[in-house]
Amino acid sequence: LAPDEIVDLDNCAREPIHIPGRVQPRGALLALRTDDGVVTQASESTAEVLGVDVRDVVGGTLASAIGTDAATTILDHVARVENPRLRNPVDVDIVVRGSSRRFEVVLHHAPDTETDGRPPVLVVEVEPFSSPPELTYRSTFEPVRDALAELDRATSLAELYDVAVRRVRELTGFDRVMLYHFDADYNGEVVAEARRDDLNPFLGLHYPASDIPPQARALYEKNWIRLISDIDYVPSEIVPTDDPVTGRPLDLTYGNLRSVSPIHVEYLQNMGVGASMSISLLRDGRLWGLIACHHYSGTHAPPYAARAAAEFLGSTLSARLVRQAEDDRASAARRSAGVLADLVSATRDDDLPLTAALTGAPGLLDLIPADGAFVIAEGRLASLGTTPDDATCTALGRRIADLGVEVLVTHHLKQDHPELAELVPGSAGLLALLVPGDAVAVWLREEVVQSVDWGGDPRNKAIARSEGDSVRLSPRKSFARWREVVRDKSEPWTDDQVDVATSLRSYVAEGLLMRGRRDIRAAS
């Protein structure tokens, strides 16, 4: 797609967002060859930001664009550091229209130029401070240090999320900071939030994977932060569009001023957002979630150092999340081993019917969380939580026995086993154990949509506009799409849950052998 081609819902995932040919005009971009220092491409925003016409910048030196002092500072810095991208920003003074102003300069080598054998292209992004620079020890280092200490003390995922959103809000001053977490299919949920008191909560809201298409997620795995400081900006063209040497548009994967997808801009406008920023959260190099920030009261451009501090918190949080998730998993595994041991010992009590042994305290729902569970064994039926009536349970048990599958696992019953789904229309997920000796144990889960802890009315999300046909993308439609995606599906059963169920099955089989065989069919 050329930058001018219309992007719509159908070709959204193919939009090459890393080569937009444009930047956001809060700053100016200059690309220079590092062998001779000649500026090969620049953004038209040099006129507004630096007071020089882009046609006078391209073909000249960096010094001719921003002055000798600033150029020398930047080029000396680049010569000193191994990877300029990891040593940003460089602060310089530049004389613009006769008066000196302070700028932050953010540097990196264009990625596709580092590998093809020629000197890399240096991308120089120059951003004026939108507010007086106050990047003191107090305003960045202290909050980060305190945040790290807090992250360190947190003992649960929920606490970690909460620290992260509060601290990022404190550092960057956005009206709303959310922790947005992906499920295995990249559908997302807002799992933590810090916001201005007068705003509607978004906590608990769900969005479909298509709101952040795959190429955007891939980009966010490489570049961990992005800022749209003014949602109503007019993009500034990069001149010329193609790098004269590569013949390709400048790769802005690591650019801070990269112009963003027009379809995403429309989405944010429909949400009433004036400025947006997001920080990647990664697990084993894959995008795990985002810290997503909104500003509603106009434009918002936190200085680079505050963004970098927030990004640093994000990467620390990423590492901490992995550890916490492992800790949580280990303690859940310990807990379920304990429950399993209790259940097994109950089944060894010959005076207790098997059904009672598995539905006492603890019972099947303590082993594996679900909306309901039931057991049929030795001619008896017992249930826990929300289950269909006894006759339906018995019929379901019989069909499961007919299938002959030892451990039946599905979170999409209607698709995988329509013949079972018709018996239990209220359930979308099923985990069933078929035990030799004709016993069945079944866990049932509701459809995700039914069980969502819905944070208020979905209409809360459409802040800005009413939705006529002219609005293609809106948060409300977005929720409707999410509902389509998860229709008839439950929370998936985790590998650990299936494993512990499989163990329980062997123990129960052993127990039944010890008790002597009885027939499930006697229950009917």
List residues binding ligand BLA (CB under 6 A): 9, 12, 15, 17, 178, 188, 190, 202, 207, 210-213, 216, 226, 228, 260-261, 263-264, 267, 276-278, 290, 292, 294, 473, 478
- Find the shortest distance in angstroms from Cβ 294 to ligand BLA: 6
Burial class for 127, CB neighbours closer than 10 Å (0-12, 13-18, 19+): buried
Judged by beta carbon, residue 40 or residue 259, the one nearer ligand BLA is: 259
Report whether 313 contacts 142 (CB < 8 A): no
Query: Residue type for 505, please?
Result: R
Any idea what the Cα angle at residue 463 is, between residues 457 and 467, rounded to 5°?
90
Residues in the chain: 524
- Find the shortest distance in angstroms from Cβ 4 to ligand BLA: 16
How many other CB atoms sit within 10 Å of the CB of residue 496? Answer: 13
Instruction: Locate 359 and state its tokens.
Output: 């539905």
Judged by beta carbon, residue 32 or residue 290, the one nearer ligand BLA is: 290
Report whether 416 contacts 164 (CB < 8 A): no
Query: Residue type for 399, please?
Result: R
Judged by beta carbon, residue 229 or residue 276, the one nearer ligand BLA is: 276
- Find the shortest distance in angstroms from Cβ 477 to ligand BLA: 8
Report whether 310 contacts 144 (CB < 8 A): no
Judged by beta carbon, residue 290 or residue 396, the one nearer ligand BLA is: 290
- Find the shortest distance in angstroms from Cβ 420 to ligand BLA: 34
- Find the shortest distance in angstroms from Cβ 202 to ligand BLA: 5
Q: What is the DSSP letter of 301?
A: -
With CA atoms as reference, report the closest residue to 383 among 426, 428, 441: 441
- Phi, psi dihedral angles at 477 (to 5 degrees): -65, -35
For 432, half-sphere exposure in the C-beta direction (CA atoms, 13 angstrom radius) is 26
Q: What is the DSSP annotation of 230-253?
A: -TTPPPEEEESSB-TTT-SB---T
Please give the sequence-ordered ranges of beta strands (E in DSSP) within 98-212, or none if there are none: 99-109, 121-128, 176-182, 188-195, 206-207
Any idea what the Cα angle at residue 279 is, between residues 273 and 285, rounded to 5°?
145
Judged by beta carbon, residue 34 or residue 210, the one nearer ligand BLA is: 210
- Find the shortest distance in angstroms from Cβ 296 to ligand BLA: 12
- Find the shortest distance in angstroms from Cβ 352 to ligand BLA: 50
- Find the shortest distance in angstroms from Cβ 288 to ligand BLA: 14
Judged by beta carbon, residue 228 or residue 375, the one nearer ligand BLA is: 228
Judged by beta carbon, residue 292 or residue 440, the one nearer ligand BLA is: 292
CA pair distance 468, 188, nearest whole angstrom: 26
Instruction: Locate 269 and state its tokens.
Output: 């406008």
Judged by beta carbon, residue 410 or residue 478, the one nearer ligand BLA is: 478
Tell me the residue nearest to ligand BLA as measured from the CB: 12
Query: Residue type for 268, please?
Result: L
Judged by beta carbon, residue 103 or residue 207, the one nearer ligand BLA is: 207
- Find the shortest distance in angstroms from Cβ 332 to ligand BLA: 28
Instruction: Locate 7 and state its tokens.
Output: 């992007």
How many other CB atoms sit within 10 Å of the CB of residue 484? Answer: 10
CA pair distance 394, 519, nearest whole angstrom: 13
Question: Dihedral sign, CA of 48, 51, 56, 62?
Answer: negative
Instruction: List the end-to-end C-alpha distance of the chain, in Å, as a whole number.
Output: 64
- Find the shortest distance in angstroms from Cβ 205 to ligand BLA: 6
- Find the shortest distance in angstroms from Cβ 231 to ligand BLA: 9
How far does Cα 59 stand from its chain's mean position?
Answer: 42
Q: What is the DSSP annotation of 388-416?
A: --HHHHHHHHHHHHHHT-SEEEES-HHHH
- Find the shortest distance in angstroms from Cβ 427 to ligand BLA: 28
Judged by beta carbon, residue 202 or residue 224, the one nearer ligand BLA is: 202
Judged by beta carbon, residue 144 or residue 485, the one nearer ligand BLA is: 485
Judged by beta carbon, residue 120 or residue 314, the one nearer ligand BLA is: 314
